[in-house]
Amino acid sequence: MARALALAARGRGTTDPNPAVGCVLVRDDAPVGEGWHERAGGPHAEIRALDAAGEKARGATAYVSLEPCAHHGRTPPCVGALLAAGIARVVAAVEDPDPRVRGRGVAALRAGGCTTDTGVLEENAVVLNRGFFTRHLRGRPWVVLKAALSLDGAFTARAGERTTVTGEDARRDVHRFRAAASAVLTGAGTVLTDDPRLDVRFPLDPPPRQPLRLVWDREGRTDPQARVYRAPGTSAIVTTARHAARYAAAGIEPIVLDVKTGDDDPWRRLLGCLAERDINVLWVESGPRLTASCLAAGCPDELVVYLAPRFFGGGNYGLAASSTPLSGQGLLWVDARPVGSDLRLRAVREEHARWAPHLRQDL
Ligand code: AOF
Ligand code: ZN
Domain residue limits, the chain: 2-128, 130-360
Instruction: Give residues with Cβ within 8 angstroms of 361, minimum separation 6.
Output: none
How far apart CA 263 and CA 274 sit, in angstroms, is 20
Of ligand 1's listed atoms, the one at least distance from the Cα of 101 is 17
* Distance in Å, CA 69 to ligand 1 centroid: 6
pLDDT of residue 320: 58
* Cα–Cα nearest to 186, from 159, 221, 151, 157: 221
Pick the residue whose CA is nearest to atom 17 on ligand 1: 98
Nearest bound ligand to the CA of residue 75: 1
**219 classed as catalytic:** no
**Is 130-360 in the same CATH topology as 2-128?**
no
Three-state DSSP class for 10? coil
Could you say which residues of the chain have pLDDT below 50?
none
pLDDT of residue 156: 82
* Cα–Cα nearest to 291, from 135, 154, 133, 134: 154
**Helices of type H across the chain:** 2-9, 45-53, 78-84, 104-111, 122-128, 130-138, 168-180, 188-194, 227-230, 241-249, 266-276, 288-296, 356-361
pLDDT of residue 120: 97
Ligand 1, from 15, 38, 96, 133: best to mutate by most atoms within 8 Å of Cβ? 96
Select from 3.40.430.10, 3.30.2270.10, 3.40.50.300, 3.30.230.80 the CATH code of 130-360: 3.40.430.10
* Distance in Å, CA 143 to ligand 2 centroid: 26
Nearest bound ligand to the CA of residue 97: 1
Contact 69 CB / ligand 1 (< 6 Å): yes
Of ligand 1's listed atoms, the one at least distance from the Cα of 96 is 17
* Distance in Å, CA 96 to ligand 1 centroid: 9
pLDDT of residue 13: 86
How far apart CA 192 and CA 146 sit, in angstroms, is 19
* Distance in Å, CA 59 to ligand 1 centroid: 24
Contact 70 CB / ligand 1 (< 6 Å): no
How far apart CA 172 and CA 141 sit, in angstroms, is 24
Q: Residue 76 has what DSSP assignment?
A: -
Of ligand 1's listed atoms, the one at least distance from the Cα of 67 is 21
Tell me, what amino acid is at 254? Answer: P
Contact 301 CB / ligand 1 (< 6 Å): no
Q: Which fold has domain 2-128?
A: Cytidine Deaminase; domain 2 (3.40.140)
Three-state DSSP class for 31? strand
pLDDT of residue 47: 98
pLDDT of residue 319: 66
pLDDT of residue 245: 96
Ligand 1, from 44, 50, 101, 182: best to mutate by most atoms within 8 Å of Cβ? 44
For residue 294, count other CB atoms closer than 10 A to its CB: 23
Strands 183-187 and 142-150: unpaired
Give one DSSP letter per residue of 297-347, joined into a string: TT--SEEEEEEES----SS--SGGG-SS-----SEEEEEEEEETTEEEEEE
pLDDT of residue 158: 79
